[in-house]
Amino acid sequence: MNLIVDIGNTQTKLAVFEGGKILFRVQVESENIFKKIKEIQKKFKNISKAIVSSVGKTDLNDFESLKKDLDLLILDHETPLPFKNLYRTPKTLGIDRIALVCASVEKYPNKNVLIIDAGTCITYDFINANNEYLGGAISPGLRMRYKAMYNQTAKLPLLLPESSNSLIGDATDQAIHSGAYNGVVFEIDGFIEAYRKKNNDLTVILTGGDAKMLSKQLKSSIFANSNFLLEGLNFILQFNTN
């Protein structure tokens, strides 16, 4: 069994895999990571390998203690990967983006794949049918847009993200929802359309915390998968230890 630790900008996801199948998943606050890992190890006694991925501020040296019990892999830019990385500045490529691309290699080999991760930021990553990762784009995520409007103006309120079926907001709160939500939807649809014009048989994956909310309104045909990053990390662990 494999333990997957995905430390994000806001929260940490922990998962247990057996082979390619996910058996358990939980989301915790960063300060509770090690307490939860101990609970998981008690529940799943056959865990023998682990991978840690972080885009947050956690000190990865704290995880060295896990090496007493587990075959531990801390994902970094030196970790061998199952694709050719053509990113011009590979050391600046987010670890989370690397994991997403690896998931696409495992799930959709030898295909043109666009992976869209709708989280704190929205990332777009493209790997072609020749197993070459070319790069992508980064833009503000849904919650970031709400916070930006609140922080950069004197009178706009801070609202929680909400889906909007109307283009015309007839009150300030509805106008904010329409602008933030529909703006993201139009952006994603626009990116997908542009990629499809250049790439035949494009497979599109939508993942991340806001994927479920956004997928309802997208015009384009997509595969929504909330576990895609975790699956990518599990594949990297298998690739480096088998």
What three-state secondary structure class fits 142?
Answer: helix
> pTM surpassing 0.85?
yes
Is 58 marked within a binding site? Answer: no
DSSP 181: I
User: 97 labelled as ligand-binding?
Assistant: yes
Going along the chain from its start, the domains and CATH numbers come out as 2-74 (3.30.420.40), 84-232 (3.30.420.40)
Distance from C-alpha of 222 to C-alpha of 205, rounded to nearest angstrom: 6
Q: Is 123 annotated as a binding residue?
A: no
The pLDDT profile of the chain, 242 residues, written as one tens digit per residue, is 999 999 876 688 999 999 889 999 999 887 778 889 999 999 999 999 999 998 877 777 778 788 888 899 999 999 999 999 999 999 999 999 999 999 999 999 999 999 999 998 999 999 999 999 999 999 999 999 999 999 999 999 999 999 998 899 999 999 999 999 999 999 999 999 999 999 989 999 999 989 999 998 888 878 999 899 999 999 999 999 87
According to the annotation, is 45 in a ligand binding site?
no
Q: What pLDDT score does 68 carry?
A: 84
Phi and psi based region of residue 19 (left: phi greater than 0; alpha: psi -120 to 50; beta: remaining): left
Determine how many CB atoms are found less than 10 A away from the CB of residue 72. Answer: 18
59, 62, 76, 96: the active-site residue = 96
- Judged by DSSP in three states, 183 sits in helix
Q: Is 87 labeled as ligand-binding?
A: yes
DSSP notation for 43-109 = H-TT--EEEEEESSS--GGGGGGGGGTSEEEE--TTS--SSEE--SSGGGS-HHHHHHHHHHHHHST
| Residue 96 appears among annotated catalytic residues | yes
